[in-house]
Amino acid sequence: MTEKKSGWVVKVSVAPPSLNDNTADADRIINELKSVLKTDYIDIDLSLLKNLPWLLRESAYQVRCVCFKDRGRWKLVGVKSINDSAICAGIAVDLGTTRVVLRLINLETGEAISESAFDNPQITIGPDILERIHFAGNEMGLDKINRLIVAGLDENISRLCRNAEVNLSDIYLMAVSGNTSMAHLFLGLPPNHIIREPYIPVVNTLNTVLAKDLGIRINNNARIFIFPNVGSYFGGDLISGIVFSGLHQQDDISILVDVGTNAEVVLGNRDWLVSCAGAAGPALEGGVSKIGMNAKPGVIDRIIIDPETGSFDLHTIEDLPPKGICGSGMIDMMAQLFLSGMVDIRGKFVESKCGNRLKDSDGIRRIELVPADKSATGKELSISQVDIDSLVRSKAAMYTILETIVRYVGITFGDLSTFYIAGTFGSFINPRSAITIGMIPDLPEGSYQSLGNSSLGGATMVLTSRQALDEVEKIRDRITYLELNVNQEFMNRFSAAKFLPHTTPSLFPSVTIPR
C-alpha cells in the first residue's frame, strides 16, 4: 500500500522480509517504487545503501522516498522514516548574473517555505558576464570564479535553512535555472568556447549532479537539476521561463521575451517553438547612461511629463530622493520625452520644447531630470543625446528581432495571443511606454503579461511537479533555434525601427505622434 502523488516524495509501505520473500532491503523498496512509478528501473546510489537496513527495520518498512527523474530515468535520492517529523525539502535557484534568488520548498506539499536573495559574488570579478568568462579562461580563474558562486550558494542556503528551521540534511533536491554561461561557471565547466565563434557550450543537456560533488553541503546524496540550454545564447533560464509561462501548452500562438543586454525570444504554441537571441544593447537595462542603475530604492522608475507645461513628475522606488534611473524608468522617460515633443521621431532633442532643461557640454546635449540640489547624490541627474541614441538603437534592435522571428514563421504580431515579458525587468516595464517608443509591437495592452521571476518560477515547478520536469526536456528538444543573420534585410528593418515609434507610423496606430 503506497500513496500516489504527483510530486517527488512517495510514501512506501512494504511487508518486512520473511523466509518466503527474501528480497534484499534495497530491492524490496525499489520494486514497490517501480510499480508505483510505473517504471522498469530505479537507480540507487551506494551511499544510500549503507544505512538502509537499519532505517527500514526501525520504521517497520514504512518510509518516505524522495525520487527524482534524471533524464527520463528514476533515481532514489533519499529515504526517511514515516515517523520522522522532519520534512523533505528542496531549493529552487534563479542563478542570475547579477542577483541570485533562492526559494526553499517543501517537497511533500509543494509549498514555498521561505525565500532569500543575494548579489552574485562573481560581481567582484566583473559585473559583466563577458569579463567573467575571460577571467575563467584558464583553470585557476575558472576554479576561483566557480568557488565564488558555490560558496555564495552554500552560505546563503545555509542561512535560509537556519532561519526557516530546516536541516541542511533534509534538502534532497535543488533546481538551478541560469543562462548558459552562469550554468557553466557554477558547474566549473570551461566557458571558453561560448564566446568564440561558432559559440559552443560544453554541454546542452546534463544529468543531475551530486550536490556534494559541487561543494554544496546539503543532504549527502542530494541531486542538483540544472536546466538544459539550447545554445550559448539561449540558456536554461529561458527554458525555465517557458515552463513557467505555459506558452508551450497553449493552442494560441504567444511570444515570450526576456529583455536585457541580450534579448531572448521564444515564439510558439503547443505544436511548435521557435527561438532566437540577439544583442539588444545594455541601454534597455539602464546600463549605458551614466546615471543608469538597477532598480532599487531611490531610483527613478516612472516619469510623467506634462506636454503643456513641460514639467517632470518623477517617481522613485520607495519615494526616496532620486539617485539614478533604471531601465524601465529610461523607457518611460523616452516615451514621455517623445509624447511631449521634447525629442523628435529621430530621437533628437527639440530645443524649442526642452527649454532650459537642455544643457550642453563639449558639444553633447543633455536634458536635466533632477537638478544637483534635489538629487540624492548632490549632482545633477541628466540624460544625454548619446544615452538617447543608444536607447533608440537598443529598442530598434529589440523590435527588429521580434519582427524577424515573427516573419520567419509567417505570421504577424496580430496573431499573438499573449506577449510574455520575463525577468524582474519585465515586472517594472510599462508596456504603454514601450509601445510608444516602438520597442514592442502595438498590441492591446491586455496582451502583455509580466511573468516576474519566471526563472525562479520554472525552477520551483520542476521541484513540485513531475509533469513540469518532463516538459523541460521536451521543450528543450522541440525548440528550433533561429540563428539571426545580420544581413541586408535585417539591417533595413533595423534602420526603419530607429525612428519613434517607427518609420511606418501605421504599425503603431495607438501612438499619437506629436506635431
Residues that bind a second copy (CB under 8 A): 17-20, 22-27, 40-41, 43-47, 49-50, 52-54, 70-73, 187-190, 192-193, 197-207, 209, 213-214, 229, 231-232, 481, 483
Nearer to a second copy, 25 or 471 (CB): 25
List the grid coordinates of 298. 531611490
Partners of residue 76 on adjacent β-strands: 44, 67
Min CB(292)–a second copy separation in Å: 32
Nearer to a second copy, 61 or 172 (CB): 61
Q: Rounded distance, CA 289 to CA 282, Å?
A: 9
Nearer to a second copy, 206 or 330 (CB): 206
| Residue 250: Cβ-neighbour burial (10 angstroms; 0-12, 13-18, 19+) | middle
* Size of the chain, expressed as the number of residues it contains: 515
Nearer to a second copy, 199 or 272 (CB): 199
The SS3 call for residue 374 is helix
Min CB(31)–a second copy separation in Å: 10
Min CB(210)–a second copy separation in Å: 8
Q: Rounded distance, CA 438 to CA 505, Å?
A: 9
Min CB(39)–a second copy separation in Å: 11
Nearer to a second copy, 81 or 204 (CB): 204
Q: Rounded distance, CA 77 to CA 89, Å?
A: 12
Min CB(212)–a second copy separation in Å: 11
Nearer to a second copy, 35 or 412 (CB): 35
Min CB(437)–a second copy separation in Å: 32
DSSP 504: S
Q: 376-382, long-range: CB within 8 Å, 24+ apart, which pairs?
A: 376/298, 376/320, 376/321, 376/322, 376/323, 377/323, 377/324, 381/291, 381/300, 381/322, 381/323, 381/324, 381/325, 382/291
Min CB(243)–a second copy separation in Å: 20
Angle between helix axes 454-464 and 236-245 (nearest 10 degrees) is 70
Nearer to a second copy, 39 or 449 (CB): 39
Min CB(179)–a second copy separation in Å: 14
Nearer to a second copy, 215 or 371 (CB): 215
Min CB(9)–a second copy separation in Å: 21
Neighbour order of strands in the sheet with 448-452: 448-452, 418-422, 254-258, 262-268, 273-279, 479-481
Nearer to a second copy, 50 or 515 (CB): 50
The alpha carbon of residue 154 and the mean position of all alpha carbons in its chain are separated, in whole angstroms, by: 20
CA-based end-to-end distance of the chain: 76
The SS3 call for residue 379 is coil
Site of grid cell 522613485: 316
The residues near 509 (Cβ < 8 Å, ≥ 6 apart) are 442
Q: Rounded distance, CA 203 to CA 189, Å?
A: 9
Partners of residue 384 on adjacent β-strands: 366
- In terms of Cα–Cα distance, which of 85, 2, 67, 64 is closest to 36? 2
Min CB(407)–a second copy separation in Å: 20
Nearer to a second copy, 168 or 189 (CB): 189
Residue 488: half-sphere exposure toward Cβ, Cα within 13 Å: 0
Nearer to a second copy, 2 or 204 (CB): 204
The SS3 call for residue 262 is strand
Min CB(222)–a second copy separation in Å: 14
Nearer to a second copy, 208 or 245 (CB): 208
Min CB(479)–a second copy separation in Å: 13
Q: What is each CA distance from 236 to 25, 140, 280, 467, in whole angstroms? A: 38, 26, 19, 17
